[in-house]
Structure formats: structure tokens, C-alpha cells
Amino acid sequence: MPAGRSGRFKHREHGIALLVVLWACTLLAILLGGFATLAHTEATQTRYLATRAQLRYLAEAGVMRAVAEITTKNGGRWVGDGRPYGMSIDGQQVDVRIVDDLGKIDINAADPAVLKNLFIAAGLDPVAASTLADNVRESRDPSGAFNREEGTQRYAQAGLTQGPRYSQFNMPDEIQSVLGMTPTLYRKIAPVLTVWSHRQTPAAAFAPTLALAALPGMDTASATRFISLRGSLNTRMPLPALPNGMPMGPTRGGTVRTIVASASSPDGTISRVSATIRLEHLPGRPSYSVLRWQEDAVE
């Protein structure tokens, strides 16, 4: 082979080798970048999970502090009307609220008009609210079971696999099975629902805003003003009259309380724990039992 042609072949081989090296370097850089990104993502996830775990334990500590308050012999200093109580644990802020379930709306016992007003206050139009209130009443009524076939058909037409339960609700979240209840609506009303008060109307001394707005002659604005005034009073002072003229109802706390504790980090991560407890008075010492425990619960 002539010397000139041989030189050209060698030059071409050198060029191909250089391209291969460049491609290999590029591929290696991509792989290293991917590994670096993966390592960074895993580190971020680990920090997030560690923060979540820490916040959850702080929220649980907030629940236990509230339990200690409300199980003392004198009833404790913390009132069950939803007012916030702040506490610091290891430099982290924990916010605690206690709501006596007498102030919530019992989905097994509530007057249909109260249910309708609740759904309206939560954003439903009056017609849809009235229909949903009727569906709740139907679902909780054991005597309506003779209409089971008709009820099942209505639910099936709406795409639901089961009809009305025709029995009382065991837990507040079971209302989600009622025809017409949506996830968005449930998230709004969940904090004011109970199955443990056995009252037709919520007790105004403890009721949150949405529960108060469900009372006849009340709305969100009047409920907000009443709660603001209620919270400004000393716990030993008499409560103001309701704007709608209704009796105040019981002002002494019941045996079931719901505690919601929230712990937050500087980056905005929040962990929330909700515990519903029943107070029990055993000989010689106060005690309690847990009726429901929820992590990452709604406020």
C-alpha cells in the first residue's frame, strides 16, 4: 500500500478512536449526572421522611398534653370550644385545639333542617342540600329497609355499588357512602361531624363556626361573630345569648372530646393528628378510651 494512502487510513482510525472516546466520556458524564441526581433525590426524600416522622411525634405529644389537661380532676384549663392552644416542644411549635363533641353535628341524631343548613353553609345550593339531608336521614333509618330495592336502584343509577345502609353510622366518615356526598364537601364538614353527642342540634357553647351556622336563623357571618365574642370571654364568665334567640344548651362539657394537634416545620411541612377520646371516671383516678385516631387528619 502506498505510504500516502496508509497515512490517510491511520488518520481516519485515529479520528474514529477519538469519536469513540468522546462518546464514552459523554455517556459517562450522563451516567454520573444521573447518579448524582438520584443521590440528591434520595437525600431529599430521606430528610422529608425524617421531618415528617419528627413532626408526627410532636403532634402526638400535643395530643397527650391535651389529654393530660382534660383528664385532671378539676377538668383542666383547656376549654373544648375549638380555641387554639400553642406549645413549644424542643423549639418546635405545636398547635392544639379541643372540641367537645356536644358542639358537633351528630349525623345519627341531627334534625334534617340542621343537616340541610350545614350543607348549605359548606357550599351546596338549597335544593342539593335538601336532597342530601334526606339521603342521610334515609341511610341512618333502620325502619326504611323495606325500601331497600328502590334505594339500591337509585344508588346504582348514580354509579354506586351499594345502596343506603339503613342503620346508624358507626363513625363520622361513613357519611361518605351516602348518595350525593362528594370528597370536597366531606373535607369541609368532617371537622364538625360526630356520632357520639346524640343531640339533634349542636351545643352552642362548644360548636365550631360551621356547626353554629347550621342552626336555624344562623349563618356563617353571625356564627363567626358569636365565636369571636365567646373566645374573648373568661371561661368563668357567662356566655352571650345566641343571635337567633335559641337557648344556649349545655355549657358543661360532655364525655367525648376531639383533640387536633398540628406540628409544622420552617419549610411548611405539617403533620396533624386527631384523636377522639371518651372520658371515663374510674374509682380514684380519671381515665379515658380512644374512640378514633387519625393521622394527617383534616382540621
Q: Give domain status of residue 164, yes or no.
A: yes
Assess whether pLDDT exceeds 80 at residue 3. no
Cell output for 190:
368532617
Under the banding of pLDDT at 50, 70 and 90, the label for residue 209 is very high
Looking at per-residue confidence, does 26 or 154 come out higher? 154
Separation CA 208–CA 103 (nearest Å): 7
pLDDT for res 44: 61
- Over residues 41-92, the pLDDT tens digits come to 766 676 666 777 888 999 999 999 999 998 887 666 888 999 999 988 877 8
Q: What residue type is assigned to position 203 of the chain?
A: A
Assess whether pLDDT exceeds 80 at residue 125. yes
* One-letter-per-residue 3-state SS of the chain: CCHHHHHHHHHHHHHHHHHHHHHHHHHHHHHHHHHHHHHHHHHHHHHHHHHHHHHHHHHHHHHHHHHHHHCCCCCCCCCCEEEEEEEEECCEEEEEEEEEHHHCEECCCCCHHHHHHHHHHCCCCHHHHHHHHHHHHHHHCHHHHHHHHHHHHHHHHCCCCCCCCCCCCCCHHHHHHCCCCCHHHHHHHHHHEECCCCCCCCCCCCCCHHHHHCCCCCCHHHHHHHHHHHHHCCCCCCCCCCCCCCCCCCCCCCCEEEEEEEEECCCCCEEEEEEEEEEEEECCEEEEEEEEEEECCCC
Q: Give domain status of residue 43, yes or no.
A: no
Find the range with the poorest average confidence among 132-136, 189-193, 261-265: 261-265
∠ CA(139), CA(292), CA(220), 5° rounding? 65
**Phi, psi torsion values for 211, nearest 5 degrees:** -70, -40
Q: Give domain status of residue 159, yes or no.
A: yes
Burial 48-61 (b: 16+ CB within 10 A, else e): eeebbebbbebbbb
Q: Give domain status of residue 161, yes or no.
A: yes
Q: Give domain status of residue 162, yes or no.
A: yes
Give every CB contact of residue 55 below 8 A, 6+ residues apart in sequence.
92, 263, 264, 265, 269, 270, 271
From first CA to last CA, the distance across the chain in angstroms is: 87
Q: Give domain status of residue 78, yes or no.
A: no
CA atoms within 13 A on the CB side of 104: 26
Distance of CA 127 to the CA centre of its chain: 27
Under the banding of pLDDT at 50, 70 and 90, the label for residue 291 is very high
- Over residues 221-257, the pLDDT tens digits come to 999 999 998 888 776 677 878 888 888 888 888 999 9
pLDDT for res 269: 83
Under the banding of pLDDT at 50, 70 and 90, the label for residue 128 is very high
Highest average pLDDT, of 3-17, 77-91, 207-221, comes from 207-221
pLDDT, mean over the chain: 87
Assess whether pLDDT exceeds 70 at residue 14. no
Assess whether pLDDT exceeds 60 at residue 15. yes
Assess whether pLDDT exceeds 80 at residue 160. yes
Number of domains in the chain: 1
The percentage of residues in the chain with a pLDDT greater than 90, rounded to a whole number, is 56
The percentage of residues in the chain with a pLDDT greater than 70, rounded to a whole number, is 87
Q: What residue type is assigned to position 213 of the chain?
A: A
Q: Give domain status of residue 216, yes or no.
A: no
Q: Give domain status of residue 69, yes or no.
A: no
Domain coverage including residue 115: 111-181
